[in-house]
Amino acid sequence: MKHLHRTGPAAALAVAASLALAACGGGSGFDDSSDPSTDGGGGGEAIQILIGSSGDAETQAVEEAVAAWSEESGTEATVQAATDLAQELSQGFTSNNPPDVFYVSTDALAGYAANGSLLAYGDQLANADDFYPTLVDAFTIDDQFYCAPKDFSTLGLVINTRLWKDAGLTDADVPTTWDELADVAETLTQGKVVGLTFGPEYQRVGSFFPQAGGSMVSEDGSEATVDSPENLEALDFVQQMMDDGVASYSSTLGAGWGGEAFGKELAAMTIEGNWIAGAMQNDFPDVDYTVAELPEGPAGPGTLAFTNCWGIAAQSGNQDDAVSLVEYLTQADQQLTFADAFGVIPSVQSAAESYAADRPEFQPFVAGAEYAQNPPAQEGAADVIADFNAQLEGLEGGDPQAILESVQQSMQAVVGQ
């Protein structure tokens, strides 16, 4: 089994932080030098970019990329890292002075689109067909491709190679089905070490839904599908592993998230995203690990995708240059530079081969993009998921059917708006 030791970009944990930053609203706190009433169309006005940065590595990488575009295009551009992205965006839009370009998460998209804050420019990009279809879907509303996915992450099965070997397991034992996952989790559960851990939340437990053929909403987003036989099968499987003592929530193990429980070797396997690389390098450099795709369920492979996009304000006085900048930032070479700098996975398919060749250990995360399911992005869905997470904390010893029925009602109220 090929293992990882002190591998991955130093700031790969950045993804987790940046994915949590965008929210409903808009605005920046930039000065009022630009006239928001000016029509977009290459007027040459300075471009203002607001990002929800995870740290210095991400900020510096974006600043360098924007500076290169600025020199090439002849248009001034400045980058500002938000302290509170949601609040600063809200202030900017309230004062009719939003940044031209800014990070937008999937759960913030519907709110921005509904109030007319966003320019729907995705189809204008020369590289529009290069983005992974799953990511395009995440930022499409009513057949309008609003904004370019800037990068993404998926969930994989992270395995402690020392504990794996000590349990007598080999490469041939890497699980590819639910039954195999339960079997190796049992084998790895020894002493104070549990076989598998994950966070008590939909963002981890929900990865079993598509493996069973389930989802939170219908493909067209018009109907809640939480209370389904497929999702029940998924929760029953997770609950059974917990009841058998071979899987535990990270919180049950006294850890803040799956990566911490895994790094402290409280668990031999965890379900996490590619951002775990930074945490392992920075906090647990002596723990060797490898990554595999999540095992297939009754319906086949499945994982969850998490992403942000480059939003452009509908009020921007220089929309043409803003679109040009985003096109530059999302080209394959630039995304690979970002990947080196702060650990993200490029959102364009043309970068996949090069990314995987340079980082073969993270190929399972890239492979997941082909079948990943997006979390619900309807306006209000974030609140429903927060409630779902609270209920999932009681899954062990709880009633999976009752949980699904409760969340079904809340989600249907959201999609039925």
Q: Pick the closest to residue 22 from 126, 134, 108, 100 (CA basis).
A: 108
Cβ partners under 8 Å of residue 316, min gap 6: 36, 40, 98, 100, 101, 119, 322
Q: At what angle do helices 332-342 and 56-73 cross, to 10 degrees?
A: 150
pLDDT at position 51, please? 95
State how far the Cα of 117 lies from the Cα of 108, in Å rounded to an integer. 11
Mean pLDDT score of the chain: 88
Is residue 249 within 8 Å of residue 176, measured between CB atoms?
no
Whether residue 397 has pLDDT greater than 60 = yes
State how far the Cα of 66 lies from the Cα of 104, in Å rounded to an integer. 18
Is residue 157 within 8 Å of residue 294, measured between CB atoms?
yes
* Span 373-393, pLDDT tens digits: 999 988 888 889 999 999 999
Q: In b/e form, how buried is each residue of 48-61, taking b as 16+ CB within 10 angstroms?
A: bbbbbbbbebbbbb
Residue 256 banded pLDDT, cuts 50, 70, 90: very high
Q: Pick the closest to residue 149 from 378, 414, 359, 377 (CA basis).
A: 377
- The kind and range of the H/E element at 77 are strand 77-81
Amino acid identity at 310 = W
Mark out the alpha helices in 264-331 (DSSP H runs): 276-283, 319-329
Percent of the chain with pLDDT over 90: 71
| Tokens encoding 310 | 């480059």
pLDDT at position 40, please? 39
Q: Are strands 247-249 and 144-145 parallel, antiparallel or unpaired?
A: unpaired
Domain positions in the chain are 47-153+306-371, 155-304+376-416
pLDDT at position 18, please? 36
pLDDT at position 220, please? 84
Q: Give me the mean pLDDT over the 331-347 stretch.
A: 91
* Span 218-229, pLDDT tens digits: 988 889 999 999
Q: At what angle do helices 56-73 and 319-329 cross, to 10 degrees?
A: 120
Q: Pick the closest to residue 313 from 91, 135, 92, 66 (CA basis).
A: 92
State how far the Cα of 397 lies from the Cα of 383, in Å rounded to an integer. 24
Instruction: Count the Cβ atoms, other than its own, within 10 Å of residue 250.
Output: 26
Percent of the chain with pLDDT over 70: 89
Q: Do domains 47-153+306-371 and 155-304+376-416 have the same CATH topology?
A: yes
Residue 53 banded pLDDT, cuts 50, 70, 90: confident
Q: Would you identify the CATH topology of the domain 155-304+376-416?
A: D-Maltodextrin-Binding Protein; domain 2 (3.40.190)
Whether residue 27 has pLDDT greater than 90 = no
pLDDT at position 175, please? 98
Q: Is 157 helix (H, G, I), strand (E, B) or coil?
A: strand
* Burial (Cβ within 10 Å: 0-12, 13-18, ≥19) of residue 390: exposed
- Which backbone phi and psi does 140 adopt, to 5 degrees? -115, 130
* Span 62-108, pLDDT tens digits: 999 999 999 999 999 999 999 888 889 999 999 999 999 999 988 88
pLDDT at position 45, please? 87
Q: Give me the mean pLDDT over the 198-220 stretch.
A: 96
Residue 6 banded pLDDT, cuts 50, 70, 90: very low
Residue 124 banded pLDDT, cuts 50, 70, 90: very high
Q: Give me the mean pLDDT over the 22-29 stretch.
A: 33
More confident residue, 353 or 286: 286
Q: Give me the mean pLDDT over the 346-356 stretch.
A: 92
pLDDT at position 1, please? 58
Residue 238 banded pLDDT, cuts 50, 70, 90: very high
Residue 284 banded pLDDT, cuts 50, 70, 90: very high
Cβ partners under 8 Å of residue 369, min gap 6: 132, 134, 135, 152, 154, 305, 345, 352
Q: Around 249, how many Cα atoms within 13 Å sit in the side-chain half-sphere?
A: 19
CATH number of the 47-153+306-371 domain: 3.40.190.10
Q: Is 50 helix (H, G, I), strand (E, B) or coil?
A: strand
